[in-house]
Every structure is written in C-alpha cells, then in structure tokens.
Amino acid sequence: MKMKIPTIDFSEVNGDNRARALSVLHDACLNWGFFMIENHGIEEAVLEKVKLLVNAHYDETMKDKFYDSEMAKNLGKIPLSDVDWESMFFISHKPTSNISRFPNISDHLCKAMEEEYIPQLVMIAEKLAELMCENLGLQKTHIKQLFNGTKGPSVGTKVAKYPECPLPELVRGLREHTDAGGIILLLQDDKVPGLEFQKDGEWFKIPPSKNNAIFVNIGDQIEVLTNGKYKSVLHRVLAEKEGSRLSIATFYNPASDAVISPAAEALYPGGYTFEDYLKFYNTRKFGDKEKRFGSMKNM
C-alpha cells in the first residue's frame, strides 16, 4: 500500500501554524493510529549517540548469544512457532530506573539514555498527550493526570535489534500485536526496513526514518480512554535477509495503579488498573484485541 505517513512538524505546535499541526495530529489519531514527528527539538547528536551506543552494545554483548540460541540454530530445521526473531532488553525509567541492573551496559549508554534522551522524550510524549486532549475537547492535563496514578507514569524503553535472517519467510521479527500502553515513541533504523502497520485491512510498510524523525503510535489505553475514537493498531516486524534493524521504542504508559476509564457512557471496559491489564495482556498479546477487551469487560 503506497500512502504517505501523516507527519507533524513539531515546531509548528506553538507557532502560527498550530491549527494545521493539531489538524494533522487529530486525523492521524482518528484514521491511522500512527504518525511521524519532525523538528521535535532533540539534538541530532544525542540521537546519533544513542543509536551508536546501542548498536555497539548489541555487537559486543548480544549478537553472538542470539545466533547461538536454539531458535536461531533450528531455523529451517524444525517448525518454529510462538517465537520472534529479535534480540532485546527492556529498561524501566519511571517511576524508578533499573538500567544500573544491566551489568553489560556501558556508562556512556546509561548516561545518554537517562540524562540526555529519555527526559526530552517524556516531554514530547506529555506534549502529545496535551494536544490529543485539546483535539478531543478534554482538559489538556486529562491524559497526564490519568496516567500518573499515585506515583507518576510508567516509562520504559524496549531496545531491540532484528538480526539478519537467512530464511526470513519462516519467522517474524515480531508477531502481529497492538501495544498495551499509551503513547509509543520509536527511534528506529535509518537503513533497514521491516516495520509494518495495518491500515484498512492491509499492511502498510513503515520505511526507515530519515533525519531522525520519531515514529509514534497509539496503545490500547489511549483507545480505551478516548472511547475508541483513537484506536491502537496492529503492527509487526518482518525478518530481513540483509541488515540488522535497530528499534528503540519508548513507552509512555499509565502508572501500574492508574485506573483507566473512559466517559461513563463508554462501551469499553473501565475501572481496572493498568497492572491488571498487563497481566491479562501478556497472556493474549498476539490474540484478537476486540476479544481481549471483551474478556476484560466480563472480568
């Protein structure tokens, strides 16, 4: 499917073209579930440093381990199911950071993530949340306050590489799913493709990001709290024969005790904690989203 991804010039949000930026964002949330943001204000040097350090970490500590895994060794020899062709780890940033618990992560990568990159990304996520509220006629802090719970939002980063795959037709890089949380901001590879989102029943290829644009998609909790107006979207990563794809996805999510609920007249499930949803989601991540919501309503 050849269509142009909605792109928001973040420099317009507080300028003369604010109305245009808000309109693009609203259309993207209503009809796409994903979009790009350019001119977001994070210095290119910071983004390049993070990507360089993550790639170095993968090459030094993760690559050999991945190709020595039983999954990689059995590709093409036995049928593989319920697996993803990815090498990843997850860093929690808020409400508390766990990055120091990863013994192989360099001090340079820790500092780049925790001090230079993530604080700016959180500000972008919170600004997007305000703009979504404005477009929906809600108080601008509605999403932020809802996500805060008693200890502030949950913010974490999935750092992933999708290694070169000799038989990409036999396995997914990452199977089809929607994201459990709120607003997802992705710093991705500028050369290797593979990410696809579903739109209107067809798979839409997301090209590698140019000029360090950040790719954004909506998670399940935004769909619930907007009464289904802004929908989370199925996406997947294809395995690629040439090149290892980099993916640094940061999740701006509700606190574990945040009570997620839309307007009173909503047909969606409500009144559960995000922690309960995650427990349910983790056993049904790759299943049908509507059935997942239906089961939550019956709980």
Residue 242 CB coordination number (10 Å): 9
C-alpha 297/C-alpha 290 separation (Å) is 11
Domains of the chain (ranges, CATH numbers): 7-297 (2.60.120.330)
Place of tokens 């500092």: 111
pLDDT at 296: 75
Place of tokens 């992933």: 160
C-alpha 293/C-alpha 281 separation (Å) is 10
How many helices (H) and strands (E) would you count in the chain?
10, 13
C-alpha 48/C-alpha 30 separation (Å) is 32
Instruction: Report CA dihedral (147, 151, 153, 156) to the nearest 10 degrees.
Output: -150
Residue 51: closest CA among 109, 110, 122, 124? 109
Contact 159, 95 (CB under 8 A): no
Contact 265, 247 (CB under 8 A): no
Residue 286, C-beta contacts closer than 8 angstroms, at least 6 positions apart: 175, 176, 177
Query: Could you tell me where the DSSP H helices lie in the chain?
Result: 18-31, 44-57, 63-67, 70-74, 107-111, 118-136, 142-148, 220-225, 274-282, 289-298
pLDDT at 272: 82
- Alpha-carbon dihedral sign for residues 196, 66, 288, 29: negative
Query: Could you tell me where the DSSP H helices lie in 118-273?
Result: 118-136, 142-148, 220-225
pTM: 0.89
Contact 112, 49 (CB under 8 A): yes
Q: What is the mean pLDDT of each run of 10 residues along the chain (299 residues)?
A: 85 93 96 97 97 97 97 93 95 94 91 97 98 90 93 97 97 97 97 96 94 97 93 97 97 96 59 87 86 74
